[in-house]
Structure 1
Amino acid sequence: MSKVYVSHNTIVSSLGYDSLSVVQKIKDGRSGLQTISDIKLLDQPICASIVDTRKLPNIAKEPNLEEKYTRLEQMLLVSLGNVIQASQIELTDRVGLIISTTKGNIDVLDHDSPFPRERAYLAELGKVLKDFFGFKTSPIVLSNACVSGLLAIAAAKKLIAQDCFDHVFITGGDLVSKFTLSGFNAFQALSAEPCRPYDKNRSGINIGEVSASALITKDNTNLAKESVVILGDASCNDANHISGPSRTGEGLYRSVKLALKEAKSKPEGVDFISAHGTATLFNDEMEAIAFNRLNLQNTPLNSLKGFFGHTLGASGLLETIVGMHSLHQNTLFASQGFEEIGVSQPINVIKKTEPKPMDTFLKTSSGFGGSNTAIVFKKVSE
């Protein structure tokens, strides 16, 4: 099988509207999380990251953009538009589109929304993006809890390997909404302080909003300098509980093991892990157990949730893009908020951003319903 690459990319977040500026702020240790008191979202203060869509560049080059497109659509249009432009790829029937999200335009269900309620259907979100950019093929909307973003990369790789497409554009996003916040609050999982994955004094999860986009391609003639090759991927459902992960990390363990097998890589060949790290008791513990079972307990590991919060259906794609830049810059990024280990098994959480020659990284995601996905990425040779 020919190589499949992750190439051009854009991040739209509270830290900025392009990947390079966002990654630089992560490198500088700047978080996009802030305390928010908004009764329309939740009747108590929360800590979250919110995108200021008023400052988004107008990719449509037309007035009153906010009247035609929802907040999420505006974010996706900007991130995806930048990637399409950078790729210089003509949108023929050999070019696919995958959209990863958990709830899409869920905010249009609010009573004060100016948009019709039908806009909340995920298929409508796909139609908006297809029509705006002129894709010739029907979009695939991938909504599998919080593994959606990473799973979209694996799905794109398989579609290219099966000769369905030559290129696949992926875009992912979710919002900080009343619906989402009320759900996590019902679990008593929300923290009013910045989250601290794997830390002894963590107090719960933060929710964040972001849009992220990337090109998956088999063509190596116009790759971004931070591009990576997809060496291996796997997904496994632990079938443990509707929201709680397997206490033994079984689904994550199997996903990583199979991804390493396809990549023909051993645990010691992984330079760092970009982990899921939600800062909840069961998730952090499950990951620590799984990584120990895989002999990855000494591999440098971070969670990026301390910079963005949990961005749901976009998190796996967002964190892959940051991991690509980390690999390209030969720099390990600190796991924001971590000070003292708070899980029962030893893991090597990165405390300080520092240089390190690197070639390969592992990205993992886990989500409600017992879903787990893992992908091994390798730096493209010069």
Structure 2
Amino acid sequence: MKRNYLLSDSIISPLGFGTDANLKAIRSGGSALKFHTNSRFLKDGFYAGLIPEKAIDEHFSDIGAPAMFTKLEKLMILAVQQILDQNPGLEMQDTGLIISTTKGSIDQLGKDEFPEDRLFLWKLAEVIADFFQIKKKPVVVSNACISGALAVKTANDLITAGRFLNAIVVAGDLVSDFVLSGFQSFQAISEKPCRPFSSDRTGISLGEASAAILIGPEAGKNEDRISYIDACTANDANHISGPSRTGEGLYLSISRLLAANNIEPEEIDYLSAHGTATEFNDEMEAIAFNRAGLEKVPVNSFKGYYGHTLGASALIETILTKHSLLENELFTSLNFSEVGVSIPLNIIKENRNKKLSLALKTASGFGGCNLAMLLKKEVYE
């Protein structure tokens, strides 16, 4: 079977405007999570990873008029532009555009700065496609917090089906009042930077970012490359926001994925978890990983670096997993203190090098959605 590959990528976050800048920050233990005041929803303030719009506009002014676009549109356009800058010969007429987001430009609600239709996800996709004169109709993937990884699967499936030759997946979300108040209504916001899988975790930290990746069948022949193997989704239908206490949906997505590809748990070299630092999510993941036989696999969460970036999170983490494989590099699960789940996991506690070949990326989200994805390094010799 012909494989598709994870090719050029881009991450735009408070840690930097580009993947290299983000990797440099992660290697040095940098975090986007800073204290912010918001007396409207949280009288004591909150920690989050926010990108000042002024910084976005400074970058965006090189390619367009900042005032003509919403904050999220600018972030996502900048991410796609970095992909195109890395691939000047890309045939755009054969390239698809896959958009991943959960809330789009919901920050514009009630502001009356743009036409009302700019609030709709289809319009967000249309604006980005029109900016780059992409003729093929863009596809929107919005399935809670698995959206970024599900968009990668969607791109692979559409390329395999012959709809596109290549596809650009772009993801993004913002920390808007709508999102902040929503998570606060669940009493899920941590009063300090989040601590995934830790005994002293008290909830999530939010973040905003965008990311983009080019996916296609052609990869450099004289270098190591990362192939997309397969992905599987499952829904536990447990609750509108709470995950299954038995990890059923995540376990099903992992076990079905491994079985379909004849892979044993001990073949997995690295596991990139969802790891939101809420009480129930982290416990659910630990149970699911144990049921799948993955409790000894080195695992981390990137939420301590970025916060939860919603529709961008799983794509950012997929890109970071790609670079972990390429560089044989395991990144510490930032802010981890001591195991706070009922079943011990092999949490990565410090940056280290390890020969890596096969990685598993998982994601979970509201409504009981879960996804597991396999990525493999093909070594050039």
Q: Equivalent residue for 1:101?
A: 101
Q: How many residues align?
A: 379
Counterpart-to-counterpart distance in 1, 2:63 and 2:16 = 22
Residue 219 of structure 2 contacts residue 225 of structure 2 at CA under 8 Å; is this kept in 1? Answer: no
Deviation at 1:53, TM superposition (A): 3.2
Q: Render the CA deviation track for 1:186-213: whole Å, top value 9, x for unaligned.
A: 0000012000000000111011000000
Q: Equivalent residue for 1:303?
A: 301
Q: Equivalent residue for 1:180?
A: 179
Q: Judge which range, 132-141 or 53-62, deviates more.
A: 53-62
Q: Equivalent residue for 1:352?
A: 350
Gaps of 5+ in 2: none
Deviation at 1:78, TM superposition (A): 0.8
Counterpart-to-counterpart distance in 2, 1:211 and 1:313 = 9
Q: Secondary structure at the residue paired with 1:214?
A: strand
Residue 196 of structure 2 contacts residue 303 of structure 2 at CA under 8 Å; is this kept in 1? Answer: yes
Q: Equivalent residue for 2:152?
A: 153
Cα RMSD (Å): 1.7
1:1-382 equivalences under 5 Å are 1-39=1-39, 42-56=42-56, 58-59=59-60, 61=62, 65-111=65-111, 113-221=112-220, 227-382=225-380
**Identity among equivalent pairs (%):** 44
Gaps of 5+ in 1: none
Q: Secondary structure at the residue paired with 2:16?
A: coil
Deviation at 1:92, TM superposition (A): 4.0
Q: Render the CA deviation track for 1:7-58: whole Å, top value 9, x for unaligned.
A: 1000000000010110111111111100101346755401000013322353
Deviation at 1:114, TM superposition (A): 1.8
Counterpart-to-counterpart distance in 2, 1:77 and 1:232 = 28
Residue 79 of structure 2 contacts residue 211 of structure 2 at CA under 8 Å; is this kept in 1? Answer: yes
Q: Secondary structure at the residue paired with 1:189?
A: coil
Q: Secondary structure at the residue paired with 1:146?
A: coil
Q: Secondary structure at the residue paired with 1:45?
A: strand
Q: Render the CA deviation track for 1:198-253: whole Å, top value 9, x for unaligned.
A: 00001110110000000110112489x67410112100001111111111111101
Q: Which amino acid letter does the alignment assign opposite residue 75 of structure 2? A: M
Deviation at 1:93, TM superposition (A): 3.8
Normalising by structure 2, we get a TM-score of 0.96
Normalising by structure 1, we get a TM-score of 0.95
Q: Render the CA deviation track for 1:313-346: whole Å, top value 9, x for unaligned.
A: 0111000111111111111100011111000011
Counterpart-to-counterpart distance in 1, 2:282 and 2:3 = 33
Q: Which amino acid letter does the alignment assign opposite residue 158 of structure 2? A: L
Closer, same or farther in 2 for the Cα pair 1:70/1:227, shift >3 Å? Answer: farther
